[in-house]
Amino acid sequence: MRVALYARYSSDNQRDASIEDQLRICRARAEREGWQIVDSYTDRAISGASLIRPGIQELIADGVKRRFDLVLTESLDRLSRDQEDIAGFYKRMRFAGIAIVTLSEGEVSELHIGLKGTMGALYLRDLADKTRRGLRGRVEEGKSGGGLCFGYDVVKQFDGNGEAIRGERKINDAEAAVARRIFADYLAGQSSRTIAMALNREGIPGPQGKEWGPTTIHGNPKRGVGILNNELYVGKLVWNRLRYLKDPDTGKRVSRLNPEGEWVTQDVPELRIVDQEVWEAVKARQKALAYQPPAEPGENTLNDRRRPKHMFTGLVKCGCCGSGYTMISKDLLGCFGARNKGVCENRLNIRRDALEKSVLQGLHTHLMEPGLFKEFCAEFTREVNRRRVERSTGLEAARRQLEKTEKQIRGIIEAIKEGMFQPSMKSEMDGLEARKAELTEMLVQAEEPPPLLHPNMAEIYHQRISALYGNLQNEETTTQAALTFRSLVDQIELMPEGNDLKIVLRGDLAAILRFAAGKKSPDILSEAGVLTDLLSQGSVVAGTGFEPVTFRL
């Protein structure tokens, strides 16, 4: 009888000698039976939850070739703990005429496959539940429930019994600085690919000492993976966001997103690396760049998410037909409607570099002149004051009405004390109390009006425009400055005027106000109803009196 031996242990925590122990007792059994051992197969530190193991695969391949007549192992769960796998292994061996014998169960039959396979599956399920329960308790204590992520080190310490205390982490200052740099570079307009290439050029090691890749940085926001999505960087430990299943065909682990209600979140402020403002700004940029499914058939929303190749890509329009000015050669821009559709008479072209130079040179005076902006600020303030007077008049009337109502309530109470109670007083009192509650709630909910525009807003705006122009000339800051410029300018119109093109900048007034105030949502923009009328035109045109201004090429 030719015999093949098989041995396996599943965890790095077990001794490697476990393999030799299993093989030794199997050899002893083979000698007693007088069987000839032709080979032995082993799998070290590999789980029995899958048959994707080199040792067991080699055993199956040699069994199909009938190199032996019997498989001998310590117990059935050494071969596999998965019901499907152990049944499949048994079928293959039986088809090849090979018996299976274990030291624990003896010769294996269909009964063993059914019972022991079920017991093995239940053991794995119970082990997983116990492990998850232990990890959850660790997370609720503010300790890590998973592996080590970039930016942190494992804290090795022991309790009074010499047992290791698991889950403690501390910030790795060098890696934390790299993480902050990634966030800053991303906010500066760099792509994850550009950031990864820069880090690799500088020889900065990535997670687990590997090279940086784009997915390592941008990851998947919904799954919370990737440097830009790791909430531990803002002091929030999230566990059980994902669950992992083994693909029955490949044996590889595949992640699945759990419902948000099953997540376990714990605040760990001592592990914060990134400021909250930076985190929120990154989330906003990710959302802006995220792919949205097309609303209508044939619509490709990826075009809206694609980063512009040049500073004015997508902004330049023909003033005659509204078509875009597109590249008709390497450096030359022309009207798409005239050249590709024949619906426009504008055949004037312009070099891209000449257009960029002209627009940037005219940026100081032609993106709303300071004098005009000062006049606008004054008019805006007058309008806000007028609205506030109207609103405050209503609030003052409400306060007087509340005082009158409270006085009437006190009068009824005094009359009741004097013995002058009438049945009609109850309904009157109920109505007054309801009115009092309504007025009180209205006054409590009334918010103080936000501050008006800064008196020197026009000068501050001029300084910011100058700084923006300077940043556009600097190679290190041009990416972020270009993004800022594109947020202020809705479009650049090119209008034929003789043999030249007149350049018209059209800007977003709300964006310009935010830019001048230096805030994402300045308080003045929340003034109810004020901007509705002022922004009804949608955009403003650069130049004196909001008239188009031409600067020659």
Question: Between 134 and 209, where is the model more confident?
Answer: 209
What span, in angstroms and rounded, lies between the C-alpha atoms of 59 and 43? 11
pLDDT for position 471 = 72
pLDDT tier, 33 (very low <50, low <70, confident <90, very high otherwise) = very high
DSSP string, 17-52: HHHHHHHHHHHHHHHHHTPEEEEEEEEES--TT-S-
Secondary structure of residue 49 in the 3-state scheme: coil
pLDDT for position 73 = 94
Four-residue CA torsion sign, 238, 242, 246, 252: negative
Mean pLDDT, the chain, whole residue set:
76
Query: Which of 3.90.1750, 3.40.720, 3.30.160, 1.10.150 would CATH assign to domain 152-284?
Result: 3.90.1750
Contacts of 144 (CB under 8 A, 6+ apart): 138, 167, 168, 169, 237
Tokens of 154: 């494992």
- Rounded to two decimals, the pTM is 0.46
pLDDT for position 45 = 77
Least confident stretch, 233-242, 332-341, 413-422, 441-450: 441-450
Instruction: With beta carbons less than 8 A apart as the criterion, state whether 547 and 366 touch.
Output: no
pLDDT at 311 over 80: no
What are the residues facing 494 on neighbouring strands? 318, 503
Work out the average pLDDT over 129-158.
Answer: 73
**Phi, then psi, of 69 in degrees rounded to 5:** -110, -15
Tens of pLDDT, residue by residue over 395-431, are 677 778 888 888 888 888 888 777 777 777 777 888 8
User: Which of 366, 186, 208, 369 is CA-nearest to residue 286?
Assistant: 186
What span, in angstroms and rounded, lies between the C-alpha atoms of 365 and 160? 73
Helices (DSSP H) in 418-452: which residue ranges? 423-445
User: Which of 153, 188, 288, 171 is CA-nearest to residue 234?
Assistant: 171
In the CATH scheme, what architecture does the domain 2-125 have? 3-Layer(aba) Sandwich (3.40)
For 313-345, give one letter per residue: b (16+ CB within 10 A) or e.
ebbbbbbbbebbbbeeeeeebbbbbbbeeeebe
User: Which of 553, 499, 523, 179 is CA-nearest to residue 348?
Assistant: 499
Instruction: With beta carbons less than 8 A apart as the criterion, state whether 62 and 4 touch.
Output: yes
Annotated domain spans of the chain: 2-125, 152-284, 308-361, 389-445
Residue 192 has a CB neighbour count (10 Å cut-off) of: 21
**Phi, then psi, of 171 in degrees rounded to 5:** -75, 135
| Highest mean pLDDT pick, 315-324, 370-379, 442-451 | 315-324
pLDDT for position 235 = 87
Lookup result for tokens 């209008």: 495
Work out the average pLDDT over 205-228.
Answer: 87
pLDDT for position 530 = 46
pLDDT at 477 over 80: no
Q: Report how far apart the first and last C-alpha atoms of the chain are (Å, whole number).
A: 96
Contacts of 472 (CB under 8 A, 6+ apart): 311, 360, 363, 478, 481, 482, 485
User: Which of 58, 111, 65 is CA-nearest to residue 86?
Assistant: 111
What span, in angstroms and rounded, lies between the C-alpha atoms of 350 and 553? 9
Work out the average pLDDT over 465-488.
Answer: 70
Share of the chain above pLDDT 70, in %: 68
Dmax (CA) for the chain in angstroms is 117
Tokens of 474: 């600097």
Work out the average pLDDT over 264-280.
Answer: 88
| Highest mean pLDDT pick, 29-43, 126-140, 436-450, 517-531 | 29-43
Reported as type and span, the H/E element at residue 381 is: helix 370-417
Work out the average pLDDT over 480-509.
Answer: 76
What span, in angstroms and rounded, lies between the C-alpha atoms of 502 and 315? 15
What are the residues facing 7 on neighbouring strands? 42
